[in-house]
Chains A and B, each alone.
Chain A
């Protein structure tokens, strides 16, 4: 006996095997990202005033990456439609486009967005020292307006050796623009365009500092979830790209010649996975980049 319904559909369910398989797998993926997002909600609700940062990510780059993923979702469904119309050449080109989109997405993440974060530093001040650095924080005005206080000063660390060396008594921070002009209402909300740290250097005494950390996963619950969720999402993108490459290589042509519907089914299954990855990003983007 051979395993039935690998390509044709079973009459009572109207489905072939892998179609059910992939949807079950996606159901488990929903629960996986559901677990991560519930952690996000829990930690964000738990955060004390001022602890959850805003506007630290590069919005235009994030928007671009979102657009890239959306376009790849379109190309992959077009690739599938091309197969359904038995146009292998068109399929090949659409697939290539999809793969390129995935690669660009990962490249931007790994070689641009993430490394930038590791070079940026945040200094968390002791509650007792907040008053002393009021000129950078602008908390008087913020309290008046009912906004969350600022408890961290961030920017480019000019003397990184100070972290290890106890003989150096202060950190020299090239301030992010917000802290240069903290009372300017335009700085109340995140900027759309990325603005690099300024040359305005603030000296912060070590004894006023609770903790100094770069914008890595160790920086805060926010960055912890950002790196974990985008990292896991990136792993999914990578997996998708690898599978697509396999389905784009000459082996696919052989399968196509033997049984085009089989290849179409495979592309449909992988396409479903890819759309799901896109769908997760649709939530990741606003939750981390915008809000």
Chain B
């Protein structure tokens, strides 16, 4: 999904432009509805027994990631952003994961417990 184009200076083209943005608006509403639906699904799934609590957490995080992805891709326009912003976010993502993963590893692998 692309971002709406910048508005034209020419009043004659304004009508068409507005029409263009209108199409995106429909997209935003759809995503909003999807997010609400997924919220319901998250709640429902948390009452389903997937065997272990770990499995339940995994499922819930999967749905949450999906929702977060929708927000980021559509509302925050990350689906079509400039390269520079992707670069910044990729590094940030790597460092957050490093923080999660390495602290986890340090917890998981002590000399003695």
Contact = CB atoms under 8 A, between A and B. Distances in A.
Interface of A: 13-15, 19-20, 23-24, 27, 30-31, 34-35, 37-38, 41-42, 45-46, 59, 63, 66-67, 70-71, 73-74, 77-78, 81, 84-86, 189, 192, 261, 271-272, 275-276, 278-279, 282-283, 285-287, 290-291
B24 A81 contact: yes
B107 A31 contact: no
Interface string B14-32: 1001100110110011011
A38 B101 CA distance: 9
B75 A77 contact: yes
B4 A70 contact: no
A45 B92 CA distance: 24
5 nearest CB pairs, A to B: A74-B32, A290-B46, A34-B96, A286-B60, A27-B92
Nearest to B102: A38
Given A70-B32, A74-B28, A290-B42, A23 B85 contact: yes
Contacts of B79: none
B93 to A, nearest CB: 8
Contact of B47 (A27, A192, A285): A192
A261 B21 CA distance: 15
A15 B99 CA distance: 30
B62 to A, nearest CB: 10
Given A70-B39, A283-B64, A13 B84 contact: yes
A278 B47 CA distance: 24
Contacts of A276: 76
A55 B31 CA distance: 29
B65 to A, nearest CB: 8
